[in-house]
Amino acid sequence: MVKRIASLLVGLVLLCGCASSGLSRPSDEATVESSKDPTKGLVVLSALWGRTWNCAQFVNAQLLSFGFDRLPRETMADDVMADVVIEGLPSVGGGPATNYVLALDPGEYGLASFAIKVTGSGPDGKIAGVGRARLYEEGKPIGGTFTVKAGELVYIGHFGLDCYKEPTIWRYYPGGREGFAHYKQLIKAQYPFLDVEKMQFRLFKTAHLGRDYVLPP
């Protein structure tokens, strides 16, 4: 299935030379107030926005955005914005990951869209957008899902690029308990009002865009 999604991405690259939308922090980003809302769940994730050089057949590629739908989803049109949208920050090089904590309504969420900029041998890059037409089958997301309950603080992964054969979005994670402990401290520094020791490690579940992993005991 990774091959299927990736090959469709290349087809869009050849057709689309569009520009990215305005870039900003997500509207669902947690605040002191929303983090205390008992009706919300807090979802922690990170994004790797920097360019990846020599990505498959391209000179470089860069993840620009990705979005999730709260399920079940009634509208399958690609021109309808996802319920949760995360966009890359301007002037990002190859630095550290950008961290986010989102205050969301409880439920299950599925990957609904992602966009990647690729640069070939020419001077101009092209943007490929992949939406529900390729990430859903029979009304169900095939890219992957995550869940969050009211009152939970849950980490779902790092999202970046994979360049095997074709560039596509991929879910990564910090390895081992020491890696996760270090990550929790990074989140605490950025969101000091959170009790990061309550953060659960429950990755975005996917059979196609990431590998299964559970923290060792």
**Amino acid 67: pLDDT:** 97
207 part of a folded domain: no
Task: Please classify residue 36 by burial: count the beta carbons closer than 10 Å to its beta carbon, then call 0-12 exposed, 13-18 middle and 19+ buried.
Answer: exposed
Residue with the bigger pLDDT between 13 and 109: it is: 109
**Amino acid 150: pLDDT:** 98
Calpha distance 117→130 (Å, rounded): 12
Domain that holds residue 13: 2-201
Q: What mean pLDDT value characterizes the chain?
A: 88
210 part of a folded domain: no
Three-state DSSP class for residue 35 = helix
**Amino acid 146: pLDDT:** 98
The pLDDT-based confidence of 25 (bands split at 50, 70, 90) is confident
211 part of a folded domain: no
The percentage of residues in the chain with a pLDDT greater than 70, rounded to a whole number, is: 86
Three-state DSSP class for residue 150 = coil
213 part of a folded domain: no
209 part of a folded domain: no
The per-residue b/e assignment along 130-150, b for 16 or more CB within 10 angstroms, e otherwise, is bbbebbbeeeebbbbbbbbee
Total structural domains within the chain: 1
217 part of a folded domain: no
Asked if residue 23 has pLDDT above 70, the reply is no
Tell me if 98 sits within 8 A of 92, measured CB to CB: yes
Asked if residue 122 has pLDDT above 90, the reply is no
Lowest mean pLDDT: which of 42-56, 78-92, 174-188? 78-92
**Amino acid 74: pLDDT:** 87
Lowest mean pLDDT: which of 2-16, 118-132, 174-188? 2-16
61 part of a folded domain: yes
214 part of a folded domain: no
Q: What is the dihedral of CA 114, 214, 141, 81, to 10 degrees?
A: -40
Calpha distance 149→5 (Å, rounded): 29
